[in-house]
Structure 1
Amino acid sequence: MAERYELRFSGAGGQGLITAGIILAEAASIIEGRHAVQSQSYGPEARGGASKSEVIIGDEPIDYPKATVVDACLAMTQEAADKYAVGIKDGGVLLVDSDFVKNPPQGNYKVYSLPIMRTAKVDVGREIVANVIALGAMIALTDVVKRESGEQAVLAKVPEAFKDLNKKAYSLGFDKMKEVLAG
């Protein structure tokens, strides 16, 4: 059977998680030449309500564009964790923002925590790049695409004036996750 990897990015509308999903799909498909699809869903109150972006990456064409057995899930808010951590497969992973998800749902998967929004605000100085920090962390956690592919896709998506800011954010997310994994 061909390899298929399903990821879900979830949080509040306006946090840039749809963009993070699109960037990941582009890293896999455009840069690495693999098959990828991205889909999204918003709560009825687009800004502030729970939203999700799903990315499926595979070695062969993808016949169904929605995640059914999630390998890795990101939850930036408690509401998103409660609503979207369902469906994580046994042995999968859940990454939560430690400042906003105080009670991560438990299951037969591993839960990791990072202060994603705080890292954006304190270490980078701009909360707007929290989605890029989260993307870097998810790529470090899953190895679903190469580090360089993720960075290249991020830099292809942002205006010239914000390339250094986003490169720093991506590297911070990636490196902080690798530190957590190293124990």
Structure 2
Amino acid sequence: MAERYEIRFSGAGGQGLITAGIILAEAASIVEGKSAVQSQSYGPEARGGASKSEVIISDGPIDYPKATVVDACLAMTQEAADKYANGIKPGGLLLLDSDFVKNEPKGDFKIVKMPIMRTAKEDIGREIVANVVALGAMIALTDVVARESGEKAVLAKVPEAFLELNKKAYNLGFEKVKALIN
């Protein structure tokens, strides 16, 4: 891993992407002992407007808490792709929800497409865990934390009644994206 690794989760407000960012930061910092910061922003409309969560992970101290050149970005909606896929470094990565992002942003980065919301709805039976499916996919694509660290952080964050649901969602996102790239 590079000295500083920046990941952006983006989509619509209410999709749980800020939570996904928090879980990733906790996987890096609490589980693996790395330095990590998480920041977020969203439009004035709490639900439905574009929102983003950024996580910076480093082996050493983080001197600036905002993403500057993003290594990997997730875009769950077309609006998020249009607004937040900028700033991905050359050779970086963009994960798109293939059902909701039809116009791919242009840039010198690799694009991976996966039906994230549909996977949550059809394979898990609950759209509400799409953020955890996406988190599993991003960890599989970036290797920024170990698979087990991500799972441990997910399970530490969700209510006990939803442990199995979220564990299944995380692992499904991880496995499905690994199958896409291999």
Whole-Å separation in 2 of the counterparts to 1:177 and 1:106: 21
SS at match of 2:170: helix
Alignment pair present for 1:14 and 2:14: yes
Q: Which residue of 1 aligns with 2:84?
A: 84
Cα displacement (A) at 1:153: 0.1
Cα displacement (A) at 1:122: 0.3
SS at match of 1:7: strand
Structure 1 segments of 4+ aligned residues over 4 angstroms from their partners: none
TM-score by length of 2: 0.99
SS at match of 1:67: coil
Cα displacement (A) at 1:181: 1.1
Whole-Å separation in 1 of the counterparts to 2:171 and 2:59: 26
Whole-Å separation in 2 of the counterparts to 1:30 and 1:104: 35
Q: Which residue of 1 aligns with 2:32?
A: 32
Cα displacement (A) at 1:104: 1.4
Cα displacement (A) at 1:53: 0.1
Alignment pair present for 1:147 and 2:131: no
Runs of at least 5 residues in structure 2 that lack an aligned partner in the other structure: none
Whole-Å separation in 2 of the counterparts to 1:37 and 1:44: 23
1:50-89, aligned counterparts within 5 Å?
A: 50-89=50-89
CA deviation vs aligned residue, 1:71-117 (integer Å, no higher than 9, x gap): 00000000000000000000000000000000110100000000000
Whole-Å separation in 1 of the counterparts to 2:65 and 2:114: 29
SS at match of 2:5: strand
Runs of at least 5 residues in structure 1 that lack an aligned partner in the other structure: none
Task: Count residues in correspondence.
Answer: 181
CA deviation vs aligned residue, 1:51-72 (integer Å, no higher than 9, x gap): 0000000011101111000000
CA deviation vs aligned residue, 1:11-54 (integer Å, no higher than 9, x gap): 00000000000000000000000000000001121110000000
Q: Which residue of 2 aligns with 1:114?
A: 114
Q: Which residue of 2 aligns with 1:41?
A: 41
Whole-Å separation in 1 of the counterparts to 2:101 and 2:41: 20
CA RMSD in angstroms comes to 0.6
Whole-Å separation in 1 of the counterparts to 2:179 and 2:105: 23
Percentage identity across aligned positions?
82
Q: Which amino acid aligns with 2:68?
A: T
SS at match of 1:89: strand
SS at match of 2:180: helix
